[in-house]
Structure 1
């Protein structure tokens, strides 16, 4: 099949991430200069890295969105019944010898056809097991004739700023590429979603590296490359990876159930700053009449100050805490209403596909 072009990158994610070459920390190497060669590490981990080619069918109308309105109408009328194939490419990594592969949702989430390229050149069709839009994690599966080499999870929580990391993947369709760098920062919020907690790295990553692994010096996956911050769309030395602590949990649930069920209250919220003796909280601006919050008695004008005994000072922290609660479970909200503090138990509902608070 023809070489696949890098997949389109969601604007809010600032682009796709490329994998950076994993640095092996040699015992005799000076920590300031790094090891003499990363070759042993690369040879060990690269068989677990895959290239992903996708085909997506889109309506022809979408191809005219950049035209002036009067020309859009003209061409849409002419090509109303036509559809076109769009090619994309990304990266991924094998986590089980039976063929389970992790990648980004924005790489495969809308694909009609997925083809995985292994390090030895073998190409295998893949099917989507499940995906989570909020964390941009997806799990796909191939059926190999023999067991595949698989990567192991590392603990992203022990990563420190300044640690060496290696990224590998398929930048600009260049299969089997590696880059290397360090962890530049932890806990970055780039406005991509509720679960932003990115590892910032300076290892160069580019379109096509989305979904590829970020390795530590022991050859373990400590992150999944997902976005870049760049004015040009190419690497500017600021990339972001989803921590393995989050990815591994999402993957385990996708493998078990094929989906992620998010908790939902059915409210519109806004931040309420601290005032006098009143602490900061989350104001309830509106309540969905058919939602879980309404059934529990939460009202517009209430201010939520705590969730399950923990203080909440922002709408984001409340929404995230509820989203992480499995539907059907009960959460306890500390609510301030007309100067009085009350405890309000709420049975969490299932978050609709259309994103709501």
Structure 2
């Protein structure tokens, strides 16, 4: 697994082992030359991604993210984990992950807070499966072998990467700013970020990941300010990620709507011009009951078996007409559970609706 892990004296990292605290010594490194800085940014860009968010098939918005972990699935493919802001993926049913290889991966919104988070807990984890090999950037305090604390200082040089405003600005480099203020949870800095940079990484000038860009501050005490941005501190990010991943439970991996809701929503009112021409009865037959699969999660066992806009009629032989029916038949979802779904699905070749039986093992 290719890892980008660069630690220098500019970041004082304290290693805590048991009750003993030892300081890790590092060779002093010079500020990068223009050439080495260019090479560093190019390397870090390989792990920085743009996230395009959707609700069903309707595009909602743009954010940024950082690939921080790779898991070998043993079949020639890999599971990748991406750090971003919760507000980037909030209200979305899936994301498309645009990578530096100019590939687009289907992303599963995997780890999110169970309730609206405080500003400093604005953290989410997206994951995707791919046969491509993408490099990752270490989140140092996530280390399982060592308890690592990253200490930063005011005046330290920093820069960000991300995709502000529009896809044409993919992985745009910010100016070289400085840390203006610090707390246990936030970094205030002068690297210029814009809408779309949210969820993207903030690096120390040597390339060490130190925070996640969250917002540009425009007004302080009713006065307009410029070049003031906020990032969540890497130490706090690590705590939130650990909490999010620890709370993950087995899931079927579908988002659903009752048939009567799916077929009566005013989509153009809800999504504007993005929904022009959308007709729910192109997706499901008329005069039916059941539960519509509004979207699917790309890293769950149901993916590719239950499809978007399938109309669920039965689970394990029991009729499904309401969300309560579905929840009752699914029961407590555990690994190893097997479910048989009977659905109505539109055949994309003939345009006809067909009855399909699908078996899913969690």
Deviation at 1:27, TM superposition (A): 4.1
CA 151–56 in structure 1, closer or farther in 2 if over 3 Å, else same: same
**Aligned residues between the structures:** 198
* Inter-partner Cα distance in structure 2 for 1:86 and 1:249: 31
2: distance between equivalents of 1:239 and 1:36? 25
Secondary structure, aligned partner of 1:205: coil
2:182 alignment partner, one of 180, 186, 191: 186
2:122 is matched with: 136
> For each residue in 1:61-91, what CA deviation from the matched residue of structure 2 results, as whole angstroms up to 9, or x when unmatched?
xxxxxxxxxxxxxxxxxxxxxxx94520000
SS at match of 2:193: coil
Determine the C-alpha separation between the residues in 1 that align with 2:111 and 2:242: 11
CA shift, 1:154, in A, is 4.2
- Measured in 2, the distance between the counterparts of 1:127 and 1:221 equals 23
For the residue of structure 2 that corresponds to 1:171, the secondary structure is coil
Structure 1 residue runs without a partner (length 5+): 1-22, 58-83, 188-195, 260-357
Tell me the residue number matched to 1:170: 163
Aligned-residue CA RMSD (Å): 2.9
Give secondary structure in 2 for the equivalent of 1:210: coil
Distance 1:256 1:85, change over 3 A: same
Paired residues for 1:210-221 under 5 Å: 210-221=198-209
- Contact 2:45–2:100 (8 Å) recurs in 1: yes
CA deviation map 1:11-35 (0-9, x unaligned): xxxxxxxxxxxx9989455xxxx74
Q: Contact 1:46–1:168 (CA<8 Å) still a contact in 2?
A: yes
- Deviations 1:278-327 (Å, cap 9, x if unpaired)? xxxxxxxxxxxxxxxxxxxxxxxxxxxxxxxxxxxxxxxxxxxxxxxxxx
Q: 1: CA distance between counterparts of 2:54 and 2:80?
A: 20
User: Are 1:112 and 2:93 counterparts?
Assistant: yes
Q: TM-score normalised to the size of structure 1?
A: 0.51
Does the 8 A contact of 1:230 with 1:236 survive in 2? yes
SS at match of 2:194: coil
Distance 1:177 1:111 in 2: 24
Residue 257 of structure 1: how far off its partner (Å): 2.3
2:238 to 248, 251, 254: 248
2:61 maps to which residue? 88
1:146 match: secondary structure: coil
8 Å CA contact 1:93–1:212 kept in 2: the answer is yes
Residue 84 of structure 2: which of 93, 103, 107 is its match?
103
Per residue, is there more strand in 1 or in 2? Answer: 2
- How far the C-alpha of 1:128 sits from its partner, in A, is 1.2
Q: What's the CA shift string for 1:163-194, capped at 9, x where partnerless?
A: 0112000011211101121111112xxxxxxx
Separation in 2 of the partners of 1:235 and 1:157? Answer: 29
Instruction: State the alpha-carbon separation in 2 of the partners of residues 235 and 27 from structure 1.
Output: 34
- Output the CA distance in 1 between the equivalents of 2:216 and 2:41: 23
Residue by residue, what CA displacement relative to the aligned partner does 1:319-339 show, whole Å, maximum 9, x if unpaired?
Answer: xxxxxxxxxxxxxxxxxxxxx
Note the residue ranges of structure 2 that are not aligned, 5 or more in a row.
1-7, 11-27, 71-78, 142-148, 250-362
1:249 Cα offset (Å): 1.7
Contact 1:227 1:240 in 2 (8 A): yes
Does the 8 Å contact 2:198/2:214 carry over to 1?
yes
Q: Which gives a bigger RCO, structure 1 or 2 (Cα 8 Å, sep 6+)?
A: 1
Q: Is the 8 A contact 1:24 1:218 kept in 2?
A: no
2:218 maps to 230
CA distance in 1, matches of 2:91, 2:124: 11
Deviation at 1:144, TM superposition (A): 1.1
Deviation, 1:159, is 0.8
